[in-house]
Structure 1
Amino acid sequence: MQTETIGTATLETWTPEEVAKALDAHEVVLIDVRTPQEYMFEHIPGALLMPMAFFDPANLPGQSDKRIVLHCGSGLRSEKMARMAFEAGFDRLAHLGGGFAKWKEARLPYIGTNMASGAPKRVTP
């Protein structure tokens, strides 16, 4: 994990492997900030959807029990939303460095779409 101090806040950048391990241990809340269409096509199992267009830091859960980890397709939107949350008073947030692209590159499982039926399917690379 890399950390960056932004004013009085700390932005943590996690690797896909760190996020996967924390998800498996139920230590994080993973929030996908991509569009609903991107999420429906493919997403990380257990990720909640809060699209960037409707992102409101006031609606984020507290972090007393679990760290919040934001993610998007490449890491750009999730970092931008973390910075927005810092402006709203959050002092520590994490995001998935490289986003969903790095998750897939790391060959971690995700929910994809069966192109023949349109139904969701588990993808284990």
Structure 2
Amino acid sequence: MKTEEVGQSILETWTVDEVAQAFAEGEIVVIDVRTPQEYMFEHIEGALLMPMAFFKADALPGQSEKRIVFHCGSGVRSEKVARAAIEAGMARVAHLEGGFGAWKGAKQPYIGTNMATGAPHRVT
């Protein structure tokens, strides 16, 4: 994990392996900041959706029990949202390096869309 001090806060950049392990162990909440359309087409199973366009730091849950890790398609939007969360007063924020593209590239499971039927299905 890479860390960067931003004022009094810390911005963490997690690898796919770090996110996958912590998510599997129930240690983190993954928040997808892509559009609803992107999320519906394919997403990390169990990730919550809070599109960047509608991001409200005060609507985020506290991090006393589970840490928050943001992700998007490539890591650009999730880093912007993480920095916005820091500006809103969060002390420690994380995002997924490389985003959903890196997640898929690492062959992690996700929910995709069956193009023949339009139905969601698990991709492993």
Q: TM-score range by the shorter chain?
A: over 0.9
How far the C-alpha of 1:20 sits from its partner, in A, is 0.6
How far the C-alpha of 1:82 sits from its partner, in A, is 0.7
Q: Secondary structure, in 3 states, of the residue corresponding to 1:5?
A: strand
* Structure 1 partner of 2:64: 64
Q: Secondary structure, in 3 states, of the residue corresponding to 2:103?
A: helix
Count, aligned residues: 124
Give every structure 1 segment of 4 or more consecutive aligned residues whose post-TM-superposition deviation is greater than 4 Å: none
How far the C-alpha of 1:66 sits from its partner, in A, is 0.4
Query: 1:84, 1:23 → 2: CA distance?
Result: 23
> Structure 1 vs Structure 2: percent identity of aligned residues?
70
1:119 aligns with 2:119: yes
Q: TM-score, normalised by structure 1?
A: 0.98
* Structure 2 partner of 1:20: 20
Q: TM-score, normalised by structure 2?
A: 0.99
- 1:104 aligned partner, one-letter code: K
Query: 1:119, 1:61 → 2: CA distance?
Result: 31
Note the 1:23-102 alignment, pairs <5 A: 23-102=23-102
Mark the runs of 5 or more structure 1 residues left unpaired by the alignment: none
- 1:68 aligned partner, one-letter code: I
CA root-mean-square deviation: 0.5
1:103 aligns with 2:109: no
How far the C-alpha of 1:109 sits from its partner, in A, is 0.5
How far the C-alpha of 1:37 sits from its partner, in A, is 0.3
How far the C-alpha of 1:93 sits from its partner, in A, is 0.6
How far the C-alpha of 1:94 sits from its partner, in A, is 0.6
Query: 1:51, 1:39 → 2: CA distance?
Result: 9
Q: Secondary structure, in 3 states, of the residue corresponding to 1:18?
A: helix
- 1:12 aligned partner, one-letter code: E
